[in-house]
Each structure stands twice: as C-alpha cells, then as structure tokens.
Structure 1
Amino acid sequence: MEAEREGIRTLEKGFGALISRIKTAFKYALILAMSGILFFLAQVPREEFGLTFLLFSLAFAGMMGLFFLATEKISFRKTLFAGLLLRFAVFWFVPNWSDDFVRFLWDGELLKIGQNPYAQTPQEWQKENVDPDNVYRNLLFENLNSPDYYSVYPPLNQVIFWLGAQASMGFVWNGYYVLRLVLLLSEIGVFFLLWKLLMAFQLPPKRIFWYWFNPLVIMEITGNLHFEGLVLLFLLASICAIQKGKLGLSGGFWGLAVGMKLVPLILLPALVSLKKFRQNKLAWLSLILALAVSFGMLLLDNSWDNFLKSLRLYQGKFEFNASIYYLLREIGFWVEGYNTIALLTKGLSLLTLGLILFFSWKRKPSTVPEMVDLWVLIYLIYLILQPVVHPWYIIPAFGLSLLTARNTFLIWSFTAIFSYQAYSSKEVMERPVFLLIEYSLVLGGIVLDYFVAKRKLNFAP
C-alpha cells in the first residue's frame, strides 16, 4: 500500500514537472512571438490601421499570456532581458507612427550651431539662413510637421535633442538612434524603480509585466521616441526618495519631471498635501533649484514669451482623441453654431484645476501609497478633460497606476490604439465609433476602479 502511494506521489511530481516545463517553453515561445510581432509592427505605417490593430492586439494578448502564466515569484534578470529583447525588436527602424523626432533633431541642430531654438520658428530661421549645401538641415526642415510654430519642448528636452544632433554627423538615423538609446536607458531605470517600489508597497512583482511587456509602451517610447518614459523615471525616483525619507532628492526629481514635460505640475497640490514633504525645507529648496536649472534657458532673448505662445496655441487650436471635450464641443455646435474650442479649453482647464485642488484637499494622503493613488486620479481627471490625448500621454499615469489597485490605465493602454484609426486617410479624420469603443472601455475601468466598492479584477493584486 505504501509503495503504491509512493508511486502515485512520484507520478504526480513527474506530471507537475512536465507541466512546469511546458509552461516555461510556452513563455519563451510567447516572448519570441511578441518580438517577431513588434518587429513587423514597427515597420507598419500608421495609415495601415487594420494591420496595426491586428499586430498590436496580438502583442497585447501575448503580454496577458505572460502575466497569467507567471507565478508570484519571477526572475528579475530574465524579466529584464525579455523586455529588452522586445525593445530591440523595434530599435532599428525609423519611427512610423510619429514624425515628432524631426523637430527634436531640428531643435538639437540649432543648439549645436549655437542658435536658440525658441527665438524663431523654423520657417523664419530657414528663410534667413538658407544653405543649399546643407543637405541634412534641409532634409529636416522639409519633414517638419510644425515649421510655423515656436518650439514647445522644455529646455531639459533640448539637452537630449542636442545630444542627438551631436551624434547625427549629417545622417538623420544617427540622431534618432542616440535619442532612442537615451530612452532605452531610461526604460531600464523605470524597470529597476518599478520593481523596487512594487516590493516596498508589498505588491506582486509580476505586475511589472503590464508595463515592461506592454506594446503601447514599447512602441511609443522606444519605437516612436516619446519622452514620457523619462517623465515616469523621474516621478518614480521622486517616490522612491520619499519612501526612503530623502525628501531633498524627492523634490529635485519631481522638478526634473516637470522640466522634461510640464504636465507633472498638476501633481504639485497632491505632493504638497503630503505633510512630511510640505514641512521639509530641503525638499522645497531642491524642487525650486531643479525647476530653475530646467527652465533657466527660457530667460534668454524672447524664449519664455515664444514658448508660452506655442503652449497657448496648442491649448486653443488642436483637438485629438478627446472624450468629454468632444461631447461639450457638440453641445457648443448645437447652441452657438460654431466650434467653441477657445471657451471650452479655458473652462475645462479651470474645472481640471478645481478638481485637482478639491481631491488633494479632500484626500490629504498621509502615506506614500496614498499619494501615488492620488497622483493616478489627478492624471485621470486631467486626461479625461483634455482636448488632445495622444496615446503616449497616458504612459506616466499608467506606470504609476501599477503601484495601486487601479486598472483603468491598463485598459487604456490597449484602447488607445483606436486613436490611430484617424490616420487611415490622407487627412486626419476621427470616426466616432472608434472613440466610442475606446472611451466606453475606459469608462468601464473608471466605474470598476472608483465606483464599485471593493471590486478588483482578476489581474489586480
């Protein structure tokens, strides 16, 4: 009888080992499959929405498969290298979904030759400095998507653009490879900090899969050269510093996040509402110093004035992939008979500020996790009320949300791909049905996260 039981136990162990080997093999197969999918996705023009959506969905499904196959204990090193493999799959190709990188290199080229990128629009500068023999600069100018606008990128961005220009040596691909390398290094930093914070917050480390293997993150940061990954890096560094009690460093890192993109300014009321930060003089000193260093260049010439002109133009003229703004715009058309964008943007900005101040006052976070959860809510309020929401805008909020039990931004990291349907035709044209699909799913996430008491999806901790 005992021999029979021992035989059964041996069979069970052997079967368990076989299942474990099959799962491991399947995980490796998924990583390789995702690498191949992203390799092809990086070469698909954004006009080919059908193929873009198919490949993106397959990559997203692969990420979900990896998450659900993973045990609670995962390998730091294997996870890191698997995510790097996916990023290297898109590393070698020209950005196909965005041409913003051309302006990055243009601004960097002006800095390289000792010119102020905020002093003139590219059109004005090129008119005064025509050089038929400078093929590189002329090529950049011909491919700019905003030659009549002053640069809207903060000085901290410009430092990285300058690095790209220094490395270009007359070839555009040299420039964007350097920009991509900087962003890849920042992604490695995000991985380390996310891992560390997940442990500190006592959350399952495999939640990092949602970011590290996410096709939106990989395509928009490594592939399309958007700097929201660096914003997230500085925000996570700020959180880590607060967690360790190094409040001076925390203020400095938060100031650098603002210096990279202005949007993290919306988080200031929540940061101030954290008592230990508010009462620390060194935190304020480092914050102010970081902002001074980040924006000092704007004091030259008319840089600050021109920079603000572009910001105001951006806020009062452009609209893309919006939600509540589009609903209010339709009401404006019905009531006034024309696009009330000027009034709406001002009104929604005031509403956003009011809600941010209200929730920061109402919640008064006393712990770092509570503050992070408030940051996620503030980002959600901001993005839902914005007239322009490009897919990469959600990445900092998405990364922060992994340190909470909120899943709205994870859902949004998939549905954001619907915004690329607008590029299917020669003229950018958004179809309401795709906006409806995208924001209905986002709304579902909001309801589950904030209105269904104690409800968690299966992939929440």
Structure 2
Amino acid sequence: MYAGYRLAGAGRASLTVGTVVVVALLLRGPFLFSPPFLSDDIHRYLFDGMVQQAGDSPYAVSPEAYETTDPIVSDLATKVNHPSLVTLYPPAAQLFFKLAAPLGMTGMKALLVLADMAVVGLLLLYLPRMGLPRHGVILYAWNPMVVWEIAWSGHTDALALPFLLAAGLLVVRKGRREAIMAGALFAVALWVKLIPVIFGPFFLLASRRRAGWFAAGGAVASTLLVGPYLPQMGNGVETLVLYGTTWEFSGFLFRTIRDLTGMNLVARLVMALLFCGGAGALLWRQWRTKMSHFHALGWAAFFWLLATPTLHPWYGLYLAMFLPLMGDTFNGKLLAPFLLTLTPLLGYVVLIDFFAHGVWLEGTWTPFWVFAIPLMALFCPKEPPAALPGAKLLKSLTNRF
C-alpha cells in the first residue's frame, strides 16, 4: 500500500482504475471465503437476521433466552459473544441482517464487500473532481485494516461507509434537494452504526443555510427505519448504555486517566470533554477559515479514535475512508492519521493469550503504542534536522519510496 501510493505519487508507476479495483478485489477474495478469526461479531449479525426471518424482534430477548426449534438459530446463539445481552445494533443494520442472513456468512460478507467497493468507486470518481490525487484511493482500497475488518471479519461499519461518504459529497452542494438527500443518507449511516453521530455537527455546519432541510431528510429516514422496531428497541438501548459505561479496549488515554483518578465514569467524562473540545476547535476552524469539509471530518475521526475508551480496530474504517480526501498523506501532519488506521491492529495481540490459555488480558504497552506512534508522527518535524546523524541517509531513503 505504502509503496504503491508513493510510487504513483512520484509518477514512477502508472495507476489505472482497473489496477486499483483488481488489486483491491484480489486482496479481499481469500478473506471473503475464510471464517472470521479476529472477531466473532458476525455470528450476532446472523443470529439477529435469522430471528427476524422467524418473525420475531431481535430486541425482544437475548440469544440465550430465545426459544427456537431451528437448529441453525440454536447453533448461532451458542456462538454469539455476550449471549446474555440483547442486541445493540441499530435498525438499519437489523434490516440488513434480515435480508442477508439467509445468504449465510459468506453471502453476508460478500454484500459488505460490495458496500466497501462502492466506497472505492466513489473515491475513484470524486477525487479528481475535487482536485485531489486519484492514487490516494490506495490508502483505503489497499489498506490491510480495511481488508481484514470487512472481507475477513465482516463488520457492519462497511455498510455505513458508502452512505456516509455519499452524504458528505452531497451536503457541500448548493440546493434543497441535495441537502434533503444528504440528511437521509446520513441517517441511514447513523442507524447502521451509531458512530457517525460524532460527525453530525460537521454536516450541519457544511449545510449551513440548508441545515433545516438536511435535518428534515434525516428525520424522515430515521422515522422509516426506527418505527418498525419500536417499542422493543428500548431493550437495545439498555445494552448500549452498558457498553458506553463499562466497555473498554485499547484506549490508552482513557486508561491512564482512569488509573490516576480511580474513577471509571469520571475518566469517560473527561474523554468526552476532550473530544468535544477538539471537535469544537475543528468546527470553529471550518467555519472561520473554510477548512475542507472532509479535512475536518478526517481529523474529527482521528481525535475520536484517540479519545474513545473502546478502540476496536475496525473503528478506524471511518478515518481510512476520509484519509484520501484529506490531501497528500505523506506531506506534513497527515502521516499521523494514516498511521492511526494501522496501529489499532496491534490490539489483536490480546488474542495470543486468549487462544492459547483462554485469558483475555490487555497488556500496558500495546495501548501505549497504538496511541503513541500516531502522536509522535503528529508532533515530529516533517524532515529530520540536518544536524541529526544519518539525516541525509534517512531523507534519501524516504525520497526513494
């Protein structure tokens, strides 16, 4: 990925649309037909879908309390993680589960890869129109995190991405219809995975005088998606609250503050305030200096990944999608967001002891490096000081790649 991006940017390698697509498909193909190894979330997706196929609500009861005579559903219930909890996946994701579950695991992952490739197609189409290098699509299309988390693990974030990207492309256009469509698309992304809520203020600012129409489109789409799952959906909210107050993974900054204060909820509140402060600064800059909409979205995703108490590797998919739209990644400070699409994969080190001894125990250093590597890239100078030993050699090696 890195070599392809640098060589294409330097004009040393021709990069056609066909090359990008073919390589992206070749990277995804082997994982598409492989059972998930890094995450077992897809079993919950399949279970929720099969429950709906049987005419029941996925929000009604937990997998361990669900009564069925279907051996397939019973087997899925035993494979779901946290089977005592009702599903927390939003209505748009549930609709997808219902439609895709009869296709089985491979079929569901294939549909998610189609959504993933739709992002590749949109980037290939719009990067040149926005005056950005087309080869930037490599940073998403060939990114190992994107390949593994979608084609291998089959995370539903892949379904939210094309709706979120399409909404971002529409919201900056002038026109009432575009604002309504952008709001509807944003709502679909939000009800696939709630994570896009952090981008809501940026979309409202981008729509500016058409913010009302944007909100109206989102309200209509939300009503259509949420309505069929009421009132049982309230059970899922309870699981969501539990997730937001107790879950944690690979969040170095959160863990540090929690350990210093000895108070879990205080540390979570501090993280929320830190992110809101960073997002507020980005919103102010976007408003005052006409900062690029996608540039702001990318940095918002970056700050959120650093601040969230739960940093699952697939949460980096949003940053990976915005990365090609932020400019030249290896020019200036954009190297830090690029690295943060990769360092969360270090969190999978926890699986070594889990598979070998059945012990789920995060070390201290893994979250530190997930956090520290992008931060070092953010605050380090673009080029090494000339007086630094080996600086000329380092610079020559960098230029070659």
Quote the residue 1:445 is aligned against: 377
Corresponding pairs, count: 370
Q: Secondary structure at the match of 1:279?
A: helix
- The Cα shift of 1:354 comes to 4.5
Sort the Cα spacing of 1:143 and 1:449 in 2 relative to 1 into closer, same or farther, 3 A.
Answer: farther
- The Cα shift of 1:213 comes to 1.0
Quote the residue 1:139 is aligned against: 75
CA offset digits 1:162-219 (Å, max 9, x no partner):
123223xxxxxxx111211111111221011111231122111111111111111101
Letter in 1 for 2:226: F
- The Cα shift of 1:409 comes to 2.6
* 1:182 counterpart = 2:111: yes
Aligned counterpart in structure 2 of residue 259 of structure 1, from 191, 195, 205: 191
- The Cα shift of 1:260 comes to 1.1
Quote the residue 1:64 is aligned against: 2
Quote the residue 1:408 is aligned against: 336
Quote the residue 1:209 is aligned against: 138
Q: Determine the C-alpha separation between the residues in 1 that align with 2:216 and 2:245.
A: 34
Q: Secondary structure at the match of 2:106?
A: helix
Q: Determine the C-alpha separation between the residues in 2 that align with 1:365 and 1:266.
A: 20
* 1:361 counterpart = 2:284: yes
Q: CA contact under 8 A between 1:365 and 1:371: conserved in structure 2?
A: no
- The Cα shift of 1:139 comes to 1.0
Quote the residue 1:293 is aligned against: 224
Aligned counterpart in structure 2 of residue 82 of structure 1, from 2, 13, 23: 23
Q: CA contact under 8 A between 2:299 and 2:337: conserved in structure 1?
A: no
Q: CA contact under 8 A between 2:302 and 2:340: conserved in structure 1?
A: no
Letter in 2 for 1:290: A
Quote the residue 1:200 is aligned against: 129
Quote the residue 2:260 is aligned against: 331
Aligned counterpart in structure 1 of residue 155 of structure 2, from 226, 229, 238: 226
TM-score by length of 2: 0.85
Sort the Cα spacing of 1:130 and 1:256 in 2 relative to 1 into closer, same or farther, 3 A.
Answer: closer
Letter in 2 for 1:294: L
Q: CA contact under 8 A between 2:204 and 2:214: conserved in structure 1?
A: no
Sort the Cα spacing of 1:186 and 1:366 in 2 relative to 1 into closer, same or farther, 3 A.
Answer: farther
Map 1:2-401 → 2, pairs under 5 A: 63-70=1-8, 72=11, 74-125=15-66, 129-131=67-69, 134-167=70-103, 175-245=104-174, 246-274=178-206, 276-279=207-210, 281-298=212-229, 300-303=230-233, 305-333=234-262, 340-364=263-287, 370-401=292-323
Letter in 2 for 1:67: Y
- The Cα shift of 1:358 comes to 4.5
- The Cα shift of 1:242 comes to 3.1
* 1:427 counterpart = 2:359: yes
Q: CA contact under 8 A between 1:352 and 1:381: conserved in structure 2?
A: yes
Percentage of pairs with the same residue: 23
Q: Secondary structure at the match of 1:258?
A: helix
Letter in 1 for 2:315: Y
Q: Determine the C-alpha separation between the residues in 1 that align with 2:205 and 2:246.
A: 34
- The Cα shift of 1:365 comes to 6.4
Task: Give the RMSD, CA atoms, in angstroms.
Answer: 2.4
Sort the Cα spacing of 1:296 and 1:150 in 2 relative to 1 into closer, same or farther, 3 A.
Answer: same
Q: Secondary structure at the match of 2:341?
A: helix
Quote the residue 1:19 is aligned against: none
Q: CA contact under 8 A between 1:107 and 1:158: conserved in structure 2?
A: yes
CA offset digits 1:144-170 (Å, max 9, x no partner):
111111111001111121123223xxx
- The Cα shift of 1:407 comes to 2.9
Sort the Cα spacing of 1:449 and 1:350 in 2 relative to 1 into closer, same or farther, 3 A.
Answer: farther
Sort the Cα spacing of 1:96 and 1:326 in 2 relative to 1 into closer, same or farther, 3 A.
Answer: same
Q: Which is higher, the Rg of structure 1 or of structure 2? A: 1
Q: Determine the C-alpha separation between the residues in 2 that align with 1:239 and 1:165.
A: 29
Letter in 1 for 2:39: S
The farther-off stretch of 350-359 and 422-431 is 350-359
Q: Determine the C-alpha separation between the residues in 2 that align with 1:220 and 1:156.
A: 20
CA offset digits 1:98-147 (Å, max 9, x no partner):
1101110111111001101111112222xxx253xx32122111111111
Q: Determine the C-alpha separation between the residues in 2 that align with 1:270 and 1:239.
A: 10
- The Cα shift of 1:295 comes to 2.2
- The Cα shift of 1:267 comes to 1.1
- The Cα shift of 1:448 comes to 5.3
Q: Determine the C-alpha separation between the residues in 1 that align with 2:343 and 2:201.
A: 29
Sort the Cα spacing of 1:296 and 1:407 in 2 relative to 1 into closer, same or farther, 3 A.
Answer: farther
Stretches of structure 2 lacking an aligned partner (at least 5 in a row): 328-333, 385-394
Q: Determine the C-alpha separation between the residues in 2 that align with 1:181 and 1:449.
A: 42
Stretches of structure 1 lacking an aligned partner (at least 5 in a row): 1-62, 168-174, 334-339
Q: Secondary structure at the match of 2:292?
A: helix
